[in-house]
């Protein structure tokens, strides 16, 4: 057992735990944050995506040890931001979701992209969400939504 300290959705947290635990399990079971989902469990589908110091990572293959002294943001924390509102409205406008299971991960991927590249090209958006699988939309609506958010959210990223 090791004391792991990190910032979770803006709040300082400490947890005495096995450092090899998957971040995903700690988020869902200990902190009851069920926005990140387990899809493939091996880093391929992106349903478990969270931000680690503002960058997308797959929480299903992140050992808890790797977030020690870092900042983790889940979709629950991101929901409290203006950027989320812009992205959410763009996703709704473009119908960028159906069943919804990939949506938290897609939003995290979009945020990770837009925070470093506020005006991405279509190709850059496709690369940005390339680690997130969606079996409903065929991706085109999600790509449109991210491009729309980038335009509508001019100046906030």
Partner 1 sequence: MVNHVIPNTYLDALRYLSDQTFKVIAGGTDLMIQKRGTRETPPNFDSNMLYCFNLKELNYVHKEKLHIHIGSMTPLEVLLHHQDIPEIMKQVIAEMASPAIRNVATLSGNIANASPAGDSLLSLYLLNAEIVLESLNGKRVLPIDQVITGPRQTVISKDEIIKEIIIENPKFSKIQWTKVGGRRADAISKISCLSAVQIKNNKVIDFRLTLGAVYKTVIRSREIESKCIGLTLDQLKENKNTILSLYEGLIQPIDDQRSNRIYRKKVALNIIEKWIADL
Can residue 16 be called a binding residue for partner 1 (CB under 8 A)? no
Look up residue 71 and give its two tokens.
């900042």
| Selection from 121, 104, 83 nearest residue 36 by Cα | 104
Q: Which of residues 49-88 bind partner 1 (CB under 8 A)?
A: 49, 52, 55-58, 60-63, 65-66, 68-70
Shortest spacing between CB 69 and partner 1, in angstroms = 7
Among 35, 36, 39, 46, binds partner 1 (CB under 8 A): 46
Contact 90, 83 (CB under 8 A): no
Does residue 103 touch partner 1 according to CB under 8 A?
no
128 contacts 150 by C-beta, under 8 angstroms:
no
Among 12, 14, 42, 123, binds partner 1 (CB under 8 A): 42
Q: Is 20 in the site for partner 1 (CB under 8 A)?
A: yes
For 10-64, where are the alpha helices, taking DSSP H only?
Answer: 23-25
Q: For residue 148, list its beta bridge partners.
A: none
Q: Does 127 sit near partner 1 (CB under 8 A)?
A: yes
* Backbone phi, psi, residue 31, to 5°: -95, 0
Give whichever of 4 and 107 is closer to partner 1, judged by the CB atom.
4
Would you call 6 helix, strand, or coil by DSSP? strand
Is the Cβ of residue 29 or residue 98 nearer to partner 1 in the bound state? 29
3-class SS at 98? coil
**Residues engaged in binding partner 1 (CB under 8 A):** 2, 4, 18-22, 25, 29, 38, 41-44, 46, 49, 52, 55-58, 60-63, 65-66, 68-70, 109, 112-113, 127-128, 130-132
């Amino acid at each position: 057992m090791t004391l792991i300290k990190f910032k979770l959705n803006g709040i300082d947290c400490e947890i005495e735990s096995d450092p090899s635990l998957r971040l995903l399990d700690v988020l869902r079971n200990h902190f009851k944050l069920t926005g990140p989902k387990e899809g493939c469990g091996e880093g391929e589908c992106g349903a478990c995506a969270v931000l680690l110091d503002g960058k997308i990572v797959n929480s299903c293959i992140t050992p808890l040890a790797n977030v020690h002294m870092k900042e983790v943001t889940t979709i629950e924390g991101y929901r409290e931001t203006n950027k989320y509102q812009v992205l959410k409205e763009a996703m709704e406008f473009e119908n960028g979701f159906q069943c919804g299971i990939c949506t938290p991960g897609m939003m995290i991927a979009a945020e990770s992209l837009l925070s470093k590249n506020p005006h991405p090209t279509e190709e850059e958006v496709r690369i940005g969400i390339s680690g997130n699988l969606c079996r409903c939309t065929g991706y085109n609506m999600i790509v449109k939504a991210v491009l729309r958010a980038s335009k509508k959210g001019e100046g906030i990223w």
